[in-house]
Amino acid sequence: MRLFHLSDLHIGIRLYNHDLREEQEYLFAQIADYVKKYQPDAILIAGDIYDKAVPSADAVQLFDRFLESLYSAAGKVEIMIVSGNHDSAQRIDYLNFLLSKQRVHMVGIPPRRPEEYIERVTLRDEHGAVNFYLLPFSKPSVVRGTFDESDTVYSYNEAIHRLFAREHIDERERNVLVSHQFYLPMGKKPEEIARMESEITAVGNVDVVWSDVLAPFDYAALGHIHKPMTVGENRFRYCGTPYAYSVSEANQEKGILMVSLGKKGEEPEIVKLPLVPKRKVMVLEDTFENVLRKASEDYVQVILTDDRDLEIFDLQERIAMAFPNKLEIKRIFTRREGLPDEVTEPVYTSPYDLICQFIPEMDDEEREIMISVINEATGGAAT
């Protein structure tokens, strides 16, 4: 059985102040092409469909078109979606009963009462049944009602372990988990896992769930961590985001995972299908002149390494012309020999003198206008 694993779409996200809709449309078209080429039996989307719990109309429309493209690209495919911590559980869960009859399962709400269990979808191939367990992002306060102990306070780890302990998972059959949670390999410390700037991290890493809970599954399609990584074993995977949503992801090769399940007991075959962005997210660290020679339309963080003062009044404008999608400009200052180790308090410079230092070529008329503007703004502090 062939599966596609993707997650953390974050439709509607902005990179600094840049709208990424065009980038997401470009990548979603590539995913639909992969679906058409490889004809998976199931597409698993492990949470964070949207970047905000109340997505914009444009974001909803983009996701709607993406689902339509997936559905149309495959002859017969089962699409399974769970909500993430960025999503509104109720919005994702809306009309799940009706949509599931059309092979689209959108599960937003985890079990909340003793009679409720993790939603399960069963598909079959020549090797028998494959059971898919669809677990959306689950807070202990939400799922503790399933244990009939509503006054007990559980950690994330305890709550998720108790949730799975209630399930009757037949380990003679193949089982797949689709889940959005912070699963941590046994023996690892949370601080050893590099987190991306685009992720929301819980204070004190209270949301950690130990990976031993994944043991009954032949594959775990996980979402929440934005970089591709395994969780203890090769069959437990975070596929990462389809695009670099922060500068910290600039060097990552993004993609989706194609997973082939054979007979029970066989290791799944996992292949990364690369996603090539229209515009990359890049970090350029070089001198001003060298940076300008690398002009592009990519999303670029510029780090200038010049070891001398740059007396270039239009520096930002020149960089902006070379990089119309620049993210920010930073400077690295290297302490030069002969400079004092201690910094003394600067001598006060009036606003007028300060401006004259930056624009020394003003004529008399321009100086009078500048004094008038400063006096109006500061109540007479031009000199």
First to last CA, the chain: 78
For the chain, give the mean pLDDT.
Answer: 88
| Residue 381 pLDDT level (bands cut at 50, 70, 90) | very low
Among the listed residues 268, 337, 329, 326, the one whose alpha carbon sits nearest the alpha carbon of residue 298: 326
The pairing of beta strand 18-19 with beta strand 2-6: unpaired
How high is the pLDDT of residue 343? Answer: 41
Among the listed residues 299, 304, 286, the one whose alpha carbon sits nearest the alpha carbon of residue 327: 299
How high is the pLDDT of residue 91? Answer: 92
How high is the pLDDT of residue 348? Answer: 44
Q: What is the C-alpha separation between 183 and 7, in angstroms, rounded?
A: 15
* Residue 354 buriedness (CB in 10 A; 0-12 / 13-18 / 19+): exposed
> Above 70 in pLDDT, residue 347?
no
> Above 60 in pLDDT, residue 342?
no
Q: What is the C-alpha separation between 9 and 66, in angstroms, rounded?
A: 11
Among the listed residues 266, 220, 257, 262, the one whose alpha carbon sits nearest the alpha carbon of residue 125: 262
- List pLDDT tens digits, range 211-264: 999 999 999 999 999 999 999 999 999 999 999 999 999 988 999 999 999 999
Q: Which residue has the higher pLDDT, 272 or 310?
A: 272
Among the listed residues 102, 60, 54, the one whose alpha carbon sits nearest the alpha carbon of residue 80: 102
Measured torsion, CA atoms of residues 224, 243, 272, 85, in degrees rounded to the nearest 10: 10
Among the listed residues 239, 129, 127, the one whose alpha carbon sits nearest the alpha carbon of residue 179: 239
How high is the pLDDT of residue 198? Answer: 83
- List pLDDT tens digits, range 220-230: 999 999 999 99
Of the given ranges (22-26, 119-123, 164-168, 348-352), which has the lowest mean pLDDT? 348-352
How high is the pLDDT of residue 58? Answer: 95
Most confident range, picked from 28-32, 282-286, 341-345, 358-362: 28-32
Tell me the average pLDDT across 35-43.
96
For 147, the token pair is 């244990």
The pairing of beta strand 14-15 with beta strand 208-210: unpaired
- List pLDDT tens digits, range 289-333: 999 999 999 999 999 988 877 777 788 899 999 999 999 988 876
Residue pair 43/82 in contact by the 8 Å Cβ criterion: no
Of the given ranges (30-34, 143-147, 264-268), which has the lowest mean pLDDT? 143-147
* C-alpha Rg value of the chain to the nearest Å: 27
Residue pair 211/231 in contact by the 8 Å Cβ criterion: yes
DSSP 218: S
Among the listed residues 75, 218, 223, the one whose alpha carbon sits nearest the alpha carbon of residue 136: 223
Among the listed residues 100, 107, 130, the one whose alpha carbon sits nearest the alpha carbon of residue 47: 107
Among the listed residues 250, 251, 227, the one whose alpha carbon sits nearest the alpha carbon of residue 238: 227
DSSP 214: G
Q: What is the C-alpha separation between 225 and 121, in angstroms, rounded?
A: 24
In total, the chain counts a number of residues equal to 383
Residue pair 375/369 in contact by the 8 Å Cβ criterion: no
How high is the pLDDT of residue 383? Answer: 47
Tell me the average pLDDT across 28-51.
96
> In sequence order, what are the residues at sequence separation of 6 or more whose Cβ sits closer than 8 angstroms to the Cβ of residue 101?
none
DSSP 199: S
Residue pair 273/283 in contact by the 8 Å Cβ criterion: no
The residue type of 75 is G
Q: What is the C-alpha separation between 24 and 18, in angstroms, rounded?
A: 12
Q: What is the C-alpha separation between 6 and 240, in angstroms, rounded?
A: 8
